[in-house]
A = this chain, B = another copy of it.
Amino acid sequence: VSDIIGQLSKILEARKQADPGASYVSGLYQRGTNHILEKIGEEATELLIAAKDAEQSGQNSEMIHEMADLWFHTLVLLAHLGETPHDLLNELQRRFGTSGLVEKANRDNV
């Protein structure tokens, strides 16, 4: 599981050369930024709804499915705008004030 994000990033990059009619991701690139953002808005909405349903049912699988869809489309946006997840992950890490040290967890106020 450890480097799935990095692997997906390579696949998303490769999809820039693929036939937009044959690849879902290539089709997203072709339709452009507004279309990718619409998908992100849709998936964020579906995540909110699924999380409220999970709260009632105690079943999280649909919520996890929608969260994966949301992450997926944000990674497509990142690739479309010429970025890799490297800076995204670094930025995430900075939020925790860690240098990758879990032990620091109890000393920070994240």
Contact = CB atoms under 8 A, between A and B. Distances in A.
B48 A109 contact: no
A56 B98 CA distance: 33
Contacts of A94: 68
Interface residue range, chain A: 35 or more
Per assembly, the copies of the chain total 4
A74 interface: yes
Contacts of A15: 105, 110
Interface in A53-108: 53-56, 60-61, 63-65, 67-72, 74, 77-78, 81-83, 86-96, 98, 100, 102, 105-106, 108
B67 A88 contact: yes
B48 A72 contact: no
